[in-house]
Structures are given as C-alpha cells and as structure tokens.
A and B are shown apart, each in its own frame.
Chain A
C-alpha cells in the first residue's frame, strides 16, 4: 500500500513537476530575439519511459471505450474509459513538454503600436475621394436617404417572425357558459372541488397549451371571502377559479396552501414556485408576498342545474406576465 502511494507521488512529480524558479535567473547573455537565452535539453531515461508508458497505457481505456460504444456499455464505463484515455495522453504530453523536449526561454520585442505616418496617409487617401466632387452635400444627403430607407427595408422582414402583442393575451378561450373540464377532458362538477383541495381545469374543447386556458379551482368557506366589488357572485358556494399563470413571469401557480388549522399556521393562498409570489384567494387573488405586480386574474364561475361548473364570463384582467399595455387592455 505504501509502495503504491509512493509510486503515485513519484508519478505525479515526474508528470507535472515543473521548475518553480526559486531565484531570479542570471542576467541573460543576449537579449537577441529568436535566440533562446536559457536552454535545457535531455531527460533522464526513466522520464522518457514514463512518457512512453503513459501513452501506451492510454490505449487501454481508449479501446475499452471504443469497444464499449459498439457493445452498448453503460455511461459510467464509457465516460471513465474516454476520460482516462485523454487524461493519460494529457499527462504524457505534459511530461513531454516539461521534461523531454528542449525547454527554452526566449525573449521578444513587443511590437510598436500606432504609426502616425501611416495614419496621416490613410486619412489623406480616404479623404481624396471627394477631390473634384462639386455637389458633395447633395450626394451626401442622397446617400443618407438611400441608406436609411435600405436599412428599414432590410430590417422589415424581422417583423415576419411574429405578430404585435395586440389583443392576443386578452383573448382567452374562456367565454360565458364554457364548461370547465379536468386534465382528462371530463366536465367538472361542484362536488369534484371539495373544500381544501385544488383542481387544475381547462375550457372544454380548447387547446390546453394556450396560456389563457389553465385555471386552478379552490373551494373555501364562503363566510371568509372578501372579494373585490362586483365579484359577489363569482364564487358560488365558495368555489373560485383563478388563472394558473403567474402574473409575474409566467410560471404555473402550482402551489396551494390550505391550513388544517389556521390559527397556528397560515391563511389559504396560491403560490408560484419560481419567485414565490403568493396570491390571497379570499380577496380575489391579491398579491400578499413576492414580486408579482398584479393580482392573479379571477374567472367568474357558475354552478349549473346539473352541478357542472361553467365560466360566467372572462377573467378579471389579462392573464400572465405584465407588459406595457396590460392595464389598458
């Protein structure tokens, strides 16, 4: 065991041992460019053997890797194989660079930067284009006009990438009378939304992936609700629906906090796991914590005679992240 440890230490020293110059070098005999002023050649024969051994050794994991790929071996074996092969080759190259090939130090002049004479000639040559041109200002203005128009023309196709935001966010699939369905597409009844639970719902027949589609249903004690004015009948029996898309940056509001016993825990709330905006369900989605700047839009719900849940209108505001016109929409 000790022998092995010592062998490893010697190997590392040989592979990576590089002179740390403990003292400043002697004054170089000539600072002639291109001629190394320090030169060390030759290596102890053992060092050359070590390099050869490392190179040969690298063939083993390399072939293991190649065979492994053909045989469908696991990722760990493949990675260890290719990795080991490259590390061994790297070690061999390091030994070669530090210990085998001639080690030289040389000196070079730093280049001169900046040439006032050349600059003057460049300016003169470039400026000469105007020599003998009489209508300079006219041509200049004409050129600018053409350039500006061409720039606009070149940039214009970028607008083909997508539409202006317009009404696209405000237009959601939710219209009055639309039934709410679960992830499986089956219509939801009031009994499906028990007190203290939360359900993800979609408009029947609509694209689930449209940002305005997903809503989250909760069922709270109607006595505790203090909804904003005008929403008195938006929460029949205490069942409420909110957009599931956070008004901060668009993640799904997938957390629901509903206390078993409120006095010793927390009030109910919907929260977003991205930046932890928390929306108070009792007050109609008001932001009570986190960085969201707008309340979570509420969808008015009605319970039909068949007990099926339907939308009673559109959202209380635009869903999803805010933009310039969000409060004007």
Chain B
C-alpha cells in the first residue's frame, strides 16, 4: 500500500491533498446527515437506473403485446410500455430494480425537502453560503423535474395523463406557450417524438446537470466548511467535529449502506407504480384518481383549486387557466425559496455579516414563523390535490372541499404565522432574538 501511495505521489503529488482530506473535520449533528441521505439516494438512482437503461426502449413505435400479463394480451402498446412490462415480468430482478429506482426517486425528494427545512430553520443559508443555497434549491427543482420525466417515460395510463397536463401547462405560457409546447412535443400532443426526448433528458442531460451541481454543492461546503451549532469549543472561527478518517468516512459508508438497504427492501416488499394494473396510455382514455408522484402533488392541488379564469385581452388569451396553478404558483414558491437569503437580510435581520454558527429555530422567531407559514401554505395546496380521495374517505362533497381549500389557501398561512410567533415568545412576553 505504501508503495502504491509513493508511486502516485511521486507523479501527481497526491499525498498533500489526501492528507488534508483525511484531517478534514465534520461537525457531528444528526440533522447534518439529511443531505447525505439525499446524495446516497441519488447513488442508488444512478446504479439502478443504469440497469434499467439496458432493457428499456424509449420508443413510441407500437406493437401487439404478447407477454406474461393476461389482461393486456393482444393490446396495441408502445415499445416503451412493452419494455417496461418486460422489465417487470421477465427480466431477472427487473421489477426489483424498477421499484427500487422509483422508491429512491420518491425518497430523494423527501430527503432534499427535509434537508431544505433544516437549512432554512437553522439559517444555514446566510453569508457566505447564499450561493450554495441557490445551488441546493436548483437541485430540488431538477430532482422534481427528473422524477417527472422518469415516470412519464413508461407511457402508462397514469403518467400519460400527466404528460397531457404538462402539455396543457406549457400551452398556458403567455404569448409563447403554444409554440413552446409544440416545440417540445414536435407538434400537437401526443405525437411520436416525446418519449425519446424525455429519455435523453432523463438518462443523460438531467443526471449530468444534477451530478455537476452536487459536485459544486459539496465543493462549496468544503470551501467554507460546514456550519454547526454553537456548542463550545465550536465558534465562528473554528470547526469542531470528527475527522474524515477513520470516523466520518466509516459513518458515511454506513449511511450509504443503510440508505441503500432501506431502498432495496422497499423495492422488494412494497409495490410501487404497478404499470400493468394501469394499462397503456391512449389520449381518449382516463382513469379516476389519477395523481402525479407525491412531489408534484402541490401542482395538481393548485390546478384544481384555481378559479375558472382565462385572461382574454383583445381576443388574445393572454393567460390560459392552467397558468395559475401550473406556472405561477410554482414560480412564486421557488422564487421565494431562491430569494429568501436576500429577503431576510433586507427586511428581517438587516445582517450582512458572516455566520458560521447555526440558529436554533427560536433564535429567529420571525424567520421561523414565516417559514412555518410558507411550508404550511404549500402543504395545504398538496392536501387540496387529494380532495377527491378525501371525499371518498370522509364524505365532504368535492365541490365543497374546493371552496374550503380556496379559503384555507389564505387562512392557513396566516394562522400558522400567528401561532408560531406566539409559541416563540419568551415567558416574560418579549419575543426572543431578532
């Protein structure tokens, strides 16, 4: 081993950076592992994804199904759907890989959201980490988009309906929407170009972008060092924690193995996206209870509760209806997320100094209250997206629920803000912190 080390060091001077890396100090708090959970979910995604690419056919060419699933025997299906069925029924471990891949995507976004919540409520996005925060929010958006592309590739009934809605949302962009949508689909929906375009985006363009941004994200962390809570001897000038070697590296490997273990166990034991039960997509078919994957639930909620307004000026439909829920709402949410470090600096803390120590949520009550209200607002819209199934479960009529959720859209964030502010006051009545 020492000979190998010398061989490399004499040629590329590797020992110095390796020594630095081995000494690198990681703060230890459990909530700092959330980002790593996301990272390791991505590793599982890539590993299982490579397997899937070896069998999947991203083509709209049709053929007659002649496989193992009796209920689809003799149906005309696309090569994409047929190859996905083949993975599920015929390829050894194919269904395990498909399901693990799907669960990993769901969990990837869960982990990013948990990580974002931790970053937000501890103020980790403050100077000098605003740029890394922007990279992180971008990763969230890319992860959501990548997931959508992935499950839409299969051309089953549920995801096909989702693609139709994506077309409708693209069409709703003011002025340029019609042309943008037809550019993306190579003509009118559904066409025959979209599946192979989704494929190249899903297996190459987006993973490359995500991997690059992850690398940038990690580099920026190393550059500024990780933040940590104000527990002595940690302070604004010193990082205290476990060195990379052996403690942290082993612990991180353990996390990788445990994340992968959980994902593969789920992939084998809990069914996800059973595409044979949905059947193939055709533009004249629809099923009740069709939903996007969880991380797009906020958009179906927004699309459902938006009032039936097209903005028409001079005969031109300047704002078709899907714009409100499909474009404006996510733009506002991501806009606020992106702008938050500067919004907070400008309007709440007026603090431009460098921060290496984290806040407890109670150290900045206004940030915590606004953040809680903001997340509660998004969760309300998520819930609105499932109102039809709630009707089936609880009995409140669907159209009544739409009105209730329209009201909740405004009332819930206000309510949560007030409650959070109250809860963060110190006993003598004065709010803590800034």
Contact = CB atoms under 8 A, between A and B. Distances in A.
B179 A165 contact: yes
Chain A at the B interface: SS class: loop
A252 to B, nearest CB: 4
A251 to B, nearest CB: 5
Contacts of A42: none
B187 to A, nearest CB: 6
A107 B240 CA distance: 4
Interface stretch (B2-10, B256-264, B363-371, B414-422): B256-264
Given A97-B254, A327-B317, A274 B96 contact: no
Nearest to A288: B308
Interface string B173-193: 011111101111111111001
B320 A326 contact: yes
Interface in B273-321: 282-290, 300, 303-310, 312, 315-318, 320-321
A101 B354 CA distance: 36
B215 to A, nearest CB: 19
Interface stretch (A68-76, A129-137, A308-316): A68-76
Contacts of B320: 293, 321-324, 326
Most chain A CB within a 10 A radius of its CB, from B236, B257, B303, B304: B257
B92 A276 contact: no
B185 A97 contact: no
A87 B258 contact: yes
Contacts of A123: none
Contact of B93 (A78, A91, A209, A323): A78
B186 A169 contact: no
Contacts of A25: 233
B317 A323 contact: yes
Interface stretch (B115-123, B223-231, B331-339): B223-231
Contacts of A200: 284
Contact of B286 (A28, A34, A251): A251
A163 interface: yes
Contacts of A159: 183
B398 interface: yes
Contacts of A69: 92-93
A274 B193 contact: no
A274 B254 contact: no
Interface stretch (B241-249, B372-380, B423-431): B241-249
A117 to B, nearest CB: 19
A105 interface: yes
Nearest to A79: B268
Interface stretch (B144-152, B164-172, B206-214, B340-348): B164-172
A328 B317 CA distance: 9
B356 interface: yes
A324 B316 contact: yes
Given A164-B179, A321-B322, A252 B286 contact: yes
B232 interface: yes
Nearest to B270: A79
B24 interface: yes
A328 B314 CA distance: 10
Nearest to A16: B254
Given A111-B223, A291-B321, A321-B172, A276 B398 contact: yes
Nearest to A290: B308
B189 A104 contact: no
A24 B264 contact: no
Contacts of B161: 251-252, 274
Most chain A CB within a 10 A radius of its CB, from B99, B171, B187, B232: B171
A225 interface: no
Nearest to A15: B254
13 contacts: A75-B96, A76-B269, A101-B246, A102-B246, A162-B186, A164-B178, A211-B188, A248-B168, A249-B326, A273-B290, A322-B321, A323-B181, A324-B318
Given A75-B268, A292-B321, 20 more contacts: A75-B93, A75-B96, A77-B268, A78-B93, A80-B265, A97-B254, A108-B25, A110-B224, A161-B183, A161-B184, A162-B183, A248-B168, A248-B321, A249-B164, A249-B303, A250-B168, A255-B286, A274-B286, A291-B304, A326-B317
Interface of A: 24-25, 27-28, 31, 33-34, 36, 68-70, 72, 75-91, 93-94, 96-98, 101-111, 113, 158-159, 161-165, 168-169, 200, 202, 208-211, 213-214, 244-245, 248-255, 272-277, 287, 289-294, 320-328
